[in-house]
Amino acid sequence: MAGSKFRPDRGLTARMVMTMFLLVLVYVAFIVGLVLAGLDIWLVIVLVAAFALFSYFSSDKIAMFSMGAKEVTPQQAPELHALVDRLCAMADMPKPRVGIADTDVPNAFATGHNEKSAVICVTTGLMRRLEGPELEAVLAHELSHVAHRDVTVMTIAGFLGIVAGFLTQAGLRFAMFAGPAGGRGNNNGPAPAVVALLVVLVSAGAWALSFLLTRALSRYRELSADRAAAYLTGRPSMLGSALSKITGDMARIPTRDLRQVEPFNAFFFAPAFAKKGFSMNQLIATHPPVEQRLAQLSDISRQLGRGA
């Protein structure tokens, strides 16, 4: 976070380092497991490397395309750009690209593998619901993800899950079409269907481990971004107000719209659930409870001597 005036968070830095270290171990075990399951080592290396490079360098484009978001210029969205300009000046950080997603789901997200490729995106639903100071607070939250570089870590961390998920589905389909016997392997080796099932088991295990690691990091980074935004703007009550409005209005959004954006929950300012009253176990939740976030903001408000 060199050059940024966002409040540093050593706890977040330590968690990112630990998450990346553990994910490296999972990556290595994943590759070894696939080789032991019967796949050619060079095929595995090429496959993993190809997915890694594609995911790393295209993360911002994939996220924007999937959300139906478009980058906007200062002429197209002057008020939004003015808020981002002001916050970047306050934080002393490079200005990321700015995007808008045309959906009524009130939310925002940051994506990109580094500061140069970073994009801060808000939805039209968010801009319609929030007042200027509230929107500024949400933008500060998203900018802190870029400044803390946890967006980059989440991009890398999410890659293993993509590869493992792809291999799991491919292995299951192959095993189903191969039939019960699955044929005979060459040179008395395992049958292709057996290899496919072993690949599924290895991939599913790697996916589960990467899933839990990224979820744990995701919950902490949201609290960290709330703190950083609150201290930068000096108005934690505005962030709390925005969070309350967004989570309160989420139940009024059509289920179809929520389901379309649910895959992005780990990157959103607030999670979007397709079920009313839906609650996730804290082990797999992408965000900490709203009550915990609001309590933290209230504590910061008292520290700053401002009313919540």
Q: Which residues of 16-39 are buried (b: 16+ CB within 10 A; e: fewer)?
A: beebeebbeebbeebbebbbebbb
Distance of CA 138 to the CA centre of its chain: 16
Question: Which ranges in the chain belong to alpha helices (H)?
Answer: 10-36, 41-67, 78-91, 124-129, 132-148, 150-178, 192-233, 236-249, 255-261, 290-303
Cβ atoms 80, 120 nearer than 8 A = no
Distances (CA, A) of 191 to 30, 32, 175, 184, 225: 21, 19, 10, 5, 50
Altogether, the residues listed in the chain come to a count of: 308
Residues that are catalytic: 142
Helix 41-67 to helix 150-178 angle (10° resolution) is 120
Cβ atoms 110, 119 nearer than 8 A = yes
